[in-house]
Amino acid sequence: MKPKAQTKQGFTHKDFASVLNKYNYKLNLGDITAGTIFSEEKDGFLVDIGARIAAYLPKDEVTVYKKYSLTNKIINETREFFILAHNKKSKQLILSIKRLEYIRAWERIKQMEKEDIAINLIIDEINRGGLLTAIEGIQGFIPNSHIINIQNKSSLLNKNLICQFLLIDEKLNKLIFSNKRAVLTKLSNIIQVGQITIGTITKIENYGLFIEIYDVTALLHISEIEYEKVDKINNIFKIGDKIKVKIIHIDKKQGRLSLSRRNL
């Protein structure tokens, strides 16, 4: 019968200490301990951690990786575990590999974000708002506004996409990436402020034109089209037109380019 794990609520550290003293565990909630998985039960595994009573590893605490499938291959595996809780009734410690993986995954993610490196991410799912991916078992999101090849978004499923971190928040378990940031970083030796180049109009809005240069979509705001006020840009430009523009701003953090035609 599966033990019912009790969390820290309703079971104080003082209570926990008395249990450990009684059974000579010398372990605490939140500790990391070594152990060997030696038996599989219906909903979990028994683990020998050197205590008088075997610890219990629920199957839903085995891993943070969604695509991981449980098999008997973990029997006799010796590894580290996070002490998650204590089952007062069975006097068993409740272990977690998932929590340990989660802690270490965020340590690696924060280091990668600090180094601001580009990462090739596999696209797992596509939705209306963007792309879902994962790194170190933690789910991440790439918004539509940060995808370079947005017109062919559906073709990106199960493909690698180069990205950089846009936002990380461990408390909210939130990871947001930018494909545009990574591409702009890669093109930093080619695209420069003040550079004059030829771009192709891909989209026309009331507030300006979206123009593709070096496979990156940039904005030519209506205020930067001419010195004189432009009322209806649809009457002047068409999608597919090639026009000369100057790069006036590069926002590498947000992956944005701003253009002008006023100072050519």
C-alpha span between 93 and 56 (Å, rounded): 6
Superfamily of domain 116-184: Nucleic acid-binding proteins (2.40.50.140)
Low-confidence ranges of the chain (pLDDT < 50): 1-13, 16-17, 19-20, 23-24
- For the sheet with 160-169, list strands across it: 119-122, 160-169, 174-178, 138-143, 130-135, 125-127
Left if phi > 0, otherwise alpha if psi is -120 to 50, otherwise beta: which for 10? left
Over residues 66-87, the pLDDT tens digits come to 766 665 578 899 999 999 999 8
Domain range summary for the chain, segments of one domain joined by +: 13-100, 116-184, 188-260
Task: Please return the burial class of 68, using the count of CB atoms within 10 Å of its CB with bins 0-12, 13-18 and 19+.
Answer: exposed
Hey, is 177 helix, strand or coil? Answer: strand
In the numeric block, which tokens belong to residue 147?
């995808």
Residue type, 154: S
Residue 162 parent element (H or E): strand 160-169
CATH of 13-100, one of 3.20.20.70, 2.40.50.140, 3.40.50.2000, 1.20.140.10: 2.40.50.140
C-alpha span between 49 and 36 (Å, rounded): 7
Terminal CA-CA length for the chain: 78
What is the pLDDT at residue 67? 64
Tell me whether strands 216-221 and 256-260 are parallel, antiparallel or unpaired.
Answer: parallel
- Could you give the C-alpha distances from 19 to 1, 33, 56, 88, 253, in angstroms and in order? 22, 17, 16, 9, 52
Fold equal for 13-100 and 116-184 = yes
Residue 123 parent element (H or E): none
Would you list the DSSP string of 29-98?
TT-EEEEEEEEE-SSEEEEE-SSSS-EEEEGGGS-S-TT----GGGTT-EEEEEEEEEETTTTEEEEESH
| Residue 112 φ then ψ, to 5° | -65, -40
C-alpha span between 90 and 2 (Å, rounded): 10
Counted residue by residue, the chain has a size of 264
Residue tagged 């029997």 (tokens) = 75
In the numeric block, which tokens belong to residue 123?
């696209």
Q: What would the CATH number be for the domain defined by 188-260?
A: 2.40.50.140
